[in-house]
C-alpha cells in the first residue's frame, strides 16, 4: 500500500496535553489554568504558516499572532502513539523554537485503497485555547 510523501519534511516537537495530571478544582468543576504536558514527541511534518500578523502591543509587551498547520502522515502518528488534541503544544518546528497550540486536527488525503485518511492537517495558533474547549472529563 503506497502512502503519500511529505514535501521537505522537518522535525516537529510536540508536548501533548496530559489531562490526567492537570490540577482540577472540584468546587468550581473546572481545570485550573495550568495544563500539564506529557513527554515530548518528535515527528516528521510539513509545516505551513498561513498567517503571521504584524506585531502589536499587548499588556505583557509586543505580541504577534501566528497561525498555520503541520501536515502529518497518519502512519507516523500511529507509530509515535500521538493523537493530536486541542491544547497540545508545538515547541519546535525545524530549527525554530516556538510555542503554538494545536487548535484542531483535520483528516486529509483520502486515498481509496487506504480505507480512510492518510494525512492529518494539525492546525495551530499562537493563542492558548480557552479552558472550556479542553473538555476535561
User: pTM for the whole thing?
Assistant: 0.76
Q: HEC string of 36-71? A: CECCCEEEEEEEEEEEECCCEEECCEEECCEEEEEE
Q: Does 132 have pLDDT greater than 50?
A: no
Question: Contact at 8 Å (CB) between 82 and 74?
Answer: no
Summarised one tens digit per residue, pLDDT across range 1-24 is 577 889 999 999 999 988 777 777
| Residue pLDDT, tens place only, 92-126 | 999 988 888 898 999 988 777 777 788 999 999 88
Amino acid at each position: 500500500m503506497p502512502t503519500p510523501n511529505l514535501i521537505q519534511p522537518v522535525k516537529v516537537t510536540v508536548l501533548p496535553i496530559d489531562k490526567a495530571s492537570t490540577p482540577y478544582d472540584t468546587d468550581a468543576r473546572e481545570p485550573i489554568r495550568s495544563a500539564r504536558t506529557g513527554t515530548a514527541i518528535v515527528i516528521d511534518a510539513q509545516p505551513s504558516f498561513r498567517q503571521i500578523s504584524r506585531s502589536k502591543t499587548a499588556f505583557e509587551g509586543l505580541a504577534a499572532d501566528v497561525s498555520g498547520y503541520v501536515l502529518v502522515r497518519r502512519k507516523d502518528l500511529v507509530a509515535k502513539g500521538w493523537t493530536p488534541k486541542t491544547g497540545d503544544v508545538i515547541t519546535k518546528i525545524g530549527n525554530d523554537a516556538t510555542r503554538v497550540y494545536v487548535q484542531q486536527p483535520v483528516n486529509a488525503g483520502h486515498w481509496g485503497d487506504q480505507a480512510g485518511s492518510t494525512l492529518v492537517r494539525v492546525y495551530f495558533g499562537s493563542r492558548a485555547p480557552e479552558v472550556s474547549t479542553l473538555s476535561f472529563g
